[in-house]
């Protein structure tokens, strides 16, 4: 997202000082009124390049189309729940109905743990724990960083982090709303995933 701002903000600044006129039904920029036309051309070229990359991403990558609404379970507060969700796998659209799943790891007292929820072509929700949940993490950020890579042909719906101040957090038993529990639920929408993927690819 930071890279997107680096492109959009300078472009808006340049456009603000440009003389823009309509000619033959098309928008025309008077480059003579632009202080740095070379920069403007580079920005426009960069935007066109990223557009191609985004289109390629949307047709081949695996991602969520609608908000999964990750939160605490309805049938049991010891579970995690997602709402009805549309997602893409290899350019094919799929749908999964609202479902609940319970984590299985036990997180030590005053340590953080994290779980990601993923879905494949069969519509099964997989709960993936961070690698060192059993020993816990010093921060929520480290717990999230400890999550394994997304499984092949799966879309990651979101993740949750948790810490319990007055005892262990026992997955599937301890309620996410229990006293002493601090939980955070994060949905991974396509814009967030696309931004992180473009940055990781150096775009």
Q: Which two tokens stand for residue 117?
A: 């929820």
User: What pLDDT was estimated at residue 41?
Assistant: 63
Q: Which two structure tokens, joined as six digits, stand for 131? A: 């690698």
143 within 8 A of 160, measured Cβ to Cβ: no
- Per-residue pLDDT for the chain (203 aa), expressed as one digit of tens each? 444 444 444 444 444 444 444 344 444 555 555 556 566 566 666 655 555 555 555 555 788 888 899 999 999 999 999 999 999 898 888 999 999 999 999 999 999 999 999 999 999 999 999 999 999 999 999 999 999 999 999 999 999 999 999 999 999 999 999 999 999 999 987 654 554 544 454 44
Question: Pairing between strand 181-187 and 71-72?
Answer: unpaired
pLDDT, position 55? 53
Q: What is residue 47's predicted lDDT score, i.e. its pLDDT?
A: 58
Assessment of whether the complete model's pTM goes beyond 0.75? no
Q: In whole angstroms, give the CA distance from residue 113 to residue 169.
A: 9
């Amino acid at each position: 997202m930071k890279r997107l701002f680096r492109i959009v903000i300078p472009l808006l600044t340049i456009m603000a000082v440009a003389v823009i006129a309509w000619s033959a039904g098309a928008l025309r920029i008077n480059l003579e009124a632009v202080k740095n036309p070379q920069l403007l051309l580079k920005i426009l070229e960069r935007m066109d390049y990223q557009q191609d990359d985004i289109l390629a991403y949307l047709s081949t990558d695996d991602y969520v189309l609608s908000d999964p609404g990750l939160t605490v379970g309805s049938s049991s507060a010891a579970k995690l729940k997602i709402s009805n969700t549309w997602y893409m796998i290899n350019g094919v659209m799929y749908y999964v109905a609202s479902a609940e799943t319970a984590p299985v790891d036990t997180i030590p007292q005053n340590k953080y743990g994290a779980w990601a929820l993923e879905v494949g072509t069969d519509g099964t929700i997989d709960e993936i724990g961070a690698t060192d949940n059993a020993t816990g993490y010093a921060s929520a950020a480290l717990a999230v960083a400890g999550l394994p890579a997304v499984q092949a042909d799966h879309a990651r719906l979101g993740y949750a982090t948790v810490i319990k101040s007055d005892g262990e957090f026992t997955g599937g038993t301890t309620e996410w709303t229990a006293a002493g529990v601090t939980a955070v639920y994060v949905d991974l929408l396509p814009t967030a995933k696309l931004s992180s993927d473009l940055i990781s690819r150096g775009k």
